[in-house]
Amino acid sequence: MTTTTAETRAAAPLVRLTNAGKRYGNIIALTGIDLEVSGSEVTCVLGDNGAGKSTLIKIIAGLHQHDEGTYEVEGEPVRFNSPREALARGIATVYQDLAVVSLMPVWRNFFLGNELRKGPAMDLARMRRTAKQELLDMGIDLRDVDQPIGTLSGGERQCVAIARAVHFGAKVLILDEPTAALGVKQAGVVLRYIVQAKERGIGVVFITHNPHHAYPVGDRFLLLNRGRSIGYFAKNEISLAELTGLMAGGAELEQLTHELQQAGGEDSELRQVAAALEHEIAELGVGAAPRSDGPAARDERPSP
Amino acid sequence: MSQTADVGVKPPPPRDERVAQRSLLSRLLTRPEIGALVGAIIIYIIFFAVAPPFRDLDSLATVLYVSSTYGIPAVAVALLMIGGEFDLSAGVAVTSSALVASMFSYQFTVNMWVGVVVALVVALAIGFINGYLVVRTGIPSFLVTLGTFFMLRGLNLAVTKLVTGNVGTNDVSNIQGFESARKVFASTFTVGGVAIRVTLLWWLLFVVAGTWVLLRTHIGNWIFAVGGSAPNSRAVGVPVNRVKIGLFMTVGFLCWFTGMHILFAFNTVQSGIGVGNEFIYIVAAVVGGCLLTGGYGSAIGAAIGAFIFGMANQGIVYAGWNPDWFYFFLGALLLGAILLNNWVRKRAEAMR
């Protein structure tokens, strides 16, 4: 698995986890996870709350170390001791809280910690111009980079944080639930942005619990449940309906339908909801989704 | 690492048609110090109207002098507040610096400048200890510096009594180096018949330096950031602890400077003075537009805040009002200034 010769390294994915796991004391937070992302590729990590998504990001980002399996960056096994080390290898993480300072102007936020200097001072003109241009290149047309970043919408803030990571040399972007707190339209803006990053040759690890956000932009899908992989698919192996069905956990949905039907014996509205749910489950084809954890699904690159 | 070089050669993006060229007025209105400026003008007009002696240039020079003695530490206190912290020990730290310089040179019969340098080291150490305790323990700076405030207050009195047997220090005006130090810290010169104290120039210099650092350097960027959100700043690589300790040491530095002025202006130092001045520094910063919660404010605003205090302080005397009422007027005035400040800022934000 450890590919160290020069030619195989060139072909190796930017980030590859093999059979990775993490324990906190006697709690198994994550086990047997395989994941890879190459340049110009989006790997989506899907799972409900507590599925182990955060632990997975923390391993990739260098906040935590894996206890099992291997973590390779461009074919080379690594063990990061801090996010700075991961960043030095081009792995940048955009956390849910975005790491922006709301009262500060957009351009100051953009360069925070990486200010351009001209002698003892900052090169204000170039910083403003660069921030504006970089955001424009990624499709965000800000009215004024001098406005406090807190006045931007959630989606725009997310985009600034992503653009910043891209500008400062990220090869792999880890996005922690970037669409979670956003409305439909704003989420669309962020998704478009993820595609932009991908087209620039960046590998993206997109963490979400929403299959409708993941499916249109993703090339691979890793589904997590209770710290384990419940499926790892290339895009051509799975449909949105199947993905949604797997995510929702078919058995649980059926149980819910059943309960609703019982509770709604005298309530016509509840009965309607239950019926609609039943219909949806049938449409999604829950249970029919290919649950392949096998190496075939794992190692096959999706054909373009 | 970065792609700035590529971006640099691209033509600048055309002006955005959604943003009208902002007028000078509207740009001015979004500055943090605008409320204080309006307040200062109103207070100036009031005293100008009711107190004829206030109209003299000499009086203005006196007002500016008083303002400068509070305004110099207020610059550092404002920077610290923008960085999200408080320093309640600043008032007595001024006295501590003066006491140390005075007693050191007197007791060891060394050149005055040696005492001045020793006092600087002590003042910076006080700042460092404050900052270190805050960043290491995570205890709010309000509590940490409240502790150091009482400790310094006790030390000032106890050590002075121990060393001199008195509550004040001995006169140091005969010590070698006193005259040159006095020139630097407490001299007076005349411009067009008006006596100007040198502290006014130093004050201006510190305000300009503070503003430049805040707005034009990466350090300033970091100060705003650690005050706005310390965890988020840390996440993008800002050395939060170093910035905060540096800010506390800056307060120490300007307290030392003010202490030196007091020493060389009066030759002796009373160990009990300075208590309560920390609030005046903080009030100057807040009136000048600094947010108590950090992340917003300006050094110029703090200067205007100190000027408002100086006007109130002297204006009441010039107006012939009963000085017993001074603190009441002062409190009311400051409250009014803060309210006005808030109102103007809200209006300014609405205009954006």
User: Do residue A113 and residue A197 come from a single domain?
Assistant: yes
Residue A172 inside a domain? The answer is yes
Q: In this structure, are A46 and A111 located in the same domain?
A: yes
8 Å CB contact of A99 and B225:
no
**Number of A:B CB contacts under 8 A?**
91
Cross-chain Cβ contact A97/B232 below 8 Å: yes
Does A63 contact chain B (CB < 8 Å)? no
Q: To the nearest whole angstrom, how far is the Cα of B232 from the nearest Cα of chain A?
A: 4
Q: Give yes or no for residue B197 having a pLDDT over 60.
A: yes
Token couple for B246: 């540096």
Identity of the residue in A83, A104, A117 whose CB atom sits nearest the CB atom of B224: A104
Beta-strand (E) ranges in A186-256?
203-208, 220-225, 228-234
Q: How far apart are CA A215 and CA B103, in angstroms?
A: 76
- How far apart are the C-alpha atoms of B97 and B99, rounded to whole Å? 5
| Three-state secondary structure call for residue A232 | strand
| Each residue's pLDDT tens digit, A80-122 | 887 778 888 888 888 776 678 888 899 999 998 888 888 889 9
**C-alpha radius of gyration, chain A, whole number:** 21
User: Contact at 8 Å (CB) between A55 and A18?
Assistant: no
Q: What is the rounded distance in angstroms from the CA atom of residue A172 to the CA atom of residue A73? A: 10
CA-nearest of A103, A104, A96, A16 to A60 is A16
Total structural domains in chain A? Answer: 2
pLDDT, mean of residues A297-303? 40
pLDDT tier at A267, thresholds 50, 70, 90:
low
What percentage of chain A has pLDDT greater than the value 70? Answer: 79
Which of the residues B218, B223, B292 would you substitute to probe the A interface, choosing the one with the greatest number of A C-beta atoms within 10 Å?
B218
**How far away is chain B from the Cα of A110, in angstroms, using its nearest Cα?**
10
Contact B218 A147 (CB under 8 A): no
- Asked if A157 has any chain B CB less than 8 Å from its own CB, the reply is no
Same domain, A276 and A295: no
* A230 lies in the same domain as A256: no
> Which stretch of B158-172, B178-192, B282-296 has the lowest confidence by average pLDDT?
B282-296
Q: Which residues 202-231 of chain B have a CB within 8 Å of chain A?
A: 212, 216-218, 221-222, 224-225, 228-229
Residues A150 and A35 in one domain: yes
Q: By CA distance, what is B7's nearest residue in A?
A: A130
Q: How many residues does chain A have?
A: 304
Q: How far off is chain B from A136, nearest CA to CA, in Å?
A: 9
Q: What tens digit of pLDDT does each residue of B286-303 get?
A: 888 888 888 889 999 999
Taking only the tens place, the pLDDT of each residue in A211-263 is 888 888 899 999 888 888 888 888 888 888 888 888 776 556 666 666 766 66
Within-domain flag for A196: yes
Put simply, the answer to whether B218 touches A117 (Cβ < 8 Å) is yes
Domain that residue A266 falls in: 250-285
Mean pLDDT of chain B: 88
Q: Has residue A1 been placed in a domain?
A: no
In a domain, A304, yes or no: no
Note whether residue A47 is domain-resident.
yes
Q: Which residue has the tokens 């120490």?
A: B252
On whether any CB of chain B is under 8 Å from the CB of A200, the answer is no
Chain B residues close to A128, C-beta within 8 Å: none
DSSP A120-160: TEE-HHHHHHHHHHHHHHTT---S-TTSBGGGS-HHHHHHH
Question: How big is the CA angle at B149 (ends B144 and B152), to the nearest 5 degrees?
Answer: 125
Cβ-based contacts of A100 with chain B (< 8 Å): 229, 232
Mutate to test the interface with A, among B2, B3, B4 (most CBs of A within 10 A): B4
Residue A245 within any structural domain of the chain? no
Q: Tell me the CB-side half-sphere exposure of residue A280, using CA atoms within 13 A.
A: 14
pLDDT of B331 reads: 82
pLDDT tens profile B83-93: 999 999 999 99
Q: Is the dihedral of CA B37, B41, B46, B48 positive or negative?
A: positive
Residue B20: pLDDT band (50, 70, 90) is low
Copy the structure tokens of residue B23. 């007028």
Task: Give B264 or A168, the one with higher predicted confidence.
Answer: B264
Indicate the residue of B4, B7, B296 with minimum beta-carbon distance to A103: B296
pLDDT at B92: 96
In this complex, which of A104, A113, A130 lies closest to B4 when CB atoms are compared?
A: A130
Taking an 8 Å cut-off on Cβ atoms, the answer to whether A104 and B295 are in contact is yes
Largest CA distance in chain B: 73
A134 and A265 belong to one structural domain: no
Bridge partners of A93, per DSSP, are A174
Q: Which residues of A touch B296 (CB under 8 A)?
A: 103
* Whether residues A231 and A176 fall in one domain: yes
Domain-located, residue A29? yes
The torsion angle over the Cα atoms of residues A187, A188, A191 and A192, rounded to 10 degrees, is: -150
Contact predicate B202/B257, CB 8 Å: yes
- Interaxial angle between packed helices B141-164 and B112-137, expressed in degrees from 0 to 180 and rounded to the nearest 10: 150
Mean pLDDT confidence for B112-130:
97
Do residues A51 and A70 both lie within one domain? yes
Report, as an integer, the average pLDDT of A15-34: 87
How far CA A277 is from CA of A266, A284, B75, B256, in Å, comes to: 18, 10, 64, 73
DSSP state string for A23-86: EETTEEEEEEEEEEE-TTEEEEEEE-TTSSHHHHHHHHHTSS--SEEEEEETTEE---SSHHHH
In 3D space, the residue among B234, B252, B233 whose CA is nearest the CA of residue B132 turns out to be B252
Closest CA to B91 of B294, B254, B263: B254
Query: Is A9's pLDDT higher than 50?
Result: no
Nearest residue in B to A127, CA atom: B4
Q: Are A266 and A229 within one domain?
A: no
What local confidence, expressed as pLDDT, does residue B127 receive? 97
Cβ distance A98 to B232 less than 8 Å, yes or no, reads yes
Residues A176 and A28 in one domain: yes
Q: What is the average pLDDT across A144-149? A: 85
Q: How far A150 CA sits from the closest chain B CA (Å)? A: 11
B3 touches chain A (CB under 8 A): yes
pTM of the model: 0.79
Close Cβ partners of A272 (under 8 Å, ≥ 6 residues apart): none
Same domain, A274 and A295: no
* pLDDT at B15 > cutoff 60: no
Q: Give this complex's ipTM.
A: 0.81
Q: Are residues A164 and A270 in the same domain?
A: no
Q: How confident is the model at residue B334 (pLDDT cuts 50, 70, 90)?
A: confident
Closest partner residue to B232 (CB to CB) among A99, A122, A129 is: A99
**CATH number, domain with residue A98:** 3.40.50.300
Domain membership of residue A38 (yes or no) is: yes
